[in-house]
Amino acid sequence: MLAFTTLARRPPAKRDADARRADYGEIYAPFGEAEARAQASRCSQCGVPFCQNHCPLTNDIPDWLRLAAEGRLKEAYALSSATNSMPEICGRICPQDRLCEGACVIEQSGHGTVTIGAIEQFITETAWREGWVEPIAAGAPTGRSAGIIGAGPAGLASAEELLKAGLAVTIYDRQDRAGGLLVYGIPNFKLEKSVVARRIDRLKAAGAEFRLGVDVGRDISFAALRARHDAILIATGAYKARALDLDGEEGSGVVAALDYLTASNRRGFGETPANAKALDARGRDVVVIGGGDTAMDCVRTAVRQGAASVTCLYRRDRANMPGSARETAHAEEEGVRFLWLAAPARLLFKGGAVAGVEAVRMKLGARDATGRAGVEPDPASSFRLPAGLVIKALGFEPEDLPSMFGEPQLKTTARGTLRVRPGGLETSLPGVFAAGDIVRGASLVVWAIKDGRDAAAQMIERMAAGRPALIAAE
């Protein structure tokens, strides 16, 4: 319990920045067993585990750290996977510095946090290698079925729990691959796609049916899905890019972050994406506008594509940046330039294509209702940046699902997210549930997993009670 006083925090070995810039491989080497056990032993087993309290899934972190330290890895995996549908994915992409590791008691005492994410990844990768990740045990058929709209983390997590309860599960997604942002929005250097594929294969083996390339509201009506299934889960995510509100932002060379990242990930699958040349940073001066994790994914992808220069423009300072501090540090190591307290004021074009960004310096002002510092422009401080590619990474908003689905009774909030009933995840339509970003707004994968699991539990409870899931008259 006092190992942290003599044993220093040591994260997994990180590849050199020059090597990282040359490929899309994950940047951390995996822990070996001796390293993982030693680092796990640094957990103080404190009486009030703030790490667990700051994990959206309330994972039993101290307990599986203790088991890992003792070499009881199979038991550690069983405990970890009991609350998390995808622990090896969360171990890779969760912003632990803002969640469990940021709340670690020994971190607060100045000894350096336990490397929770890396140990979580090690435990689960060991489980896959040793065959401890068992097939999903589908429950006895109940004669009920659930339709899930969206094959991202919320939909996948929900599908697993529904299968265990004996429901027939069909997952609909407009993309040609399952995985949502895990596949098309997150670069390989953070999450190898084979890691996602084996989770999807496990669901297929348990009987989940995937209907891909199906756009609900266009290829099949929402009403038809409600008639086909006993319950529906909407887990579409939030994909509408926030606008710059500048003239010319739809012009040549100005692209949305998700379009850019999707094109890059498609290249990783060996495909030539549509509009490939326009979505390639090679040889260009790239300006990414935004300060979240998506912006970090974009700047680091541009580096790997061989951009002439990569600059991140963010209107607040580093301390108020919404993205992971760790991801920002990785980007700086890889050669990205950050301009803090700077915002775009005008897009500059030449010959019909973007040629630069005119920006202004910003000053921090009073804090807003969320506690974040407001910003005010200094009009006298304008400056220009050359840009052959401008990437808009200001975050995402929900699409207008009531219109897309042709279902005006599907109620939304003022933010455009789906309205759910207090204390639950059922929408304004009986038997129709929602989970993930379409309820929360753009958020973290770990929250989507939690919502998916919670929504499944509520769907199962409703059907087990014998109440009709869908009420046609309504």
The answer to whether residue 473 scores a pLDDT higher than 50 is no
Residue 190 reports pLDDT greater than 50: yes
- The CATH number of the domain covering residues in 3-130: 1.10.1060.10
Tens of pLDDT along 68-95? 999 999 999 999 999 999 999 999 999 9
pLDDT of residue 471: 41
The pLDDT assigned to 466 comes to 65
Q: In the predicted model, is pLDDT for residue 365 greater than 90?
A: no
147-188 pLDDT, tens digit per residue, is 999 999 999 999 999 999 999 999 999 999 999 999 999 999
Which CATH code for domain 242-392?
3.50.50.60
- Note the pLDDT tens digit of each residue in 106-143: 988 889 999 999 999 999 999 999 999 999 999 999 99
Residue 414: partners with Cβ closer than 8 Å, 6 or more residues away = none
Q: How far apart are CA 27 and CA 20, in angstroms?
A: 6
265-315 pLDDT per residue, tens: 999 999 999 899 999 999 999 999 999 999 999 999 999 999 999 999 999
Task: Give the residue extent of every domain in the chain.
Answer: 3-130, 145-238+398-464, 242-392
Which pLDDT does position 1 carry in this prediction? 67
At the top level of CATH, the class of 145-238+398-464 is: alpha beta
The mean of the pLDDT values for the chain is 95
Q: Is the pLDDT of residue 474 over 60?
A: no
Beta strands 373-386 and 309-313 are unpaired
Q: Chain centroid to CA 413: how far?
A: 22
Give 114's contacts (C-beta < 8 A, 6+ positions apart).
4, 9, 39, 40, 42, 43, 51, 65, 101, 104, 106, 107
- Residue 467's pLDDT is 52
3-130 and 145-238+398-464: identical CATH topology: no
pTM above 0.85, yes or no: yes
- With tokens 């297929």, the residue in question is 204
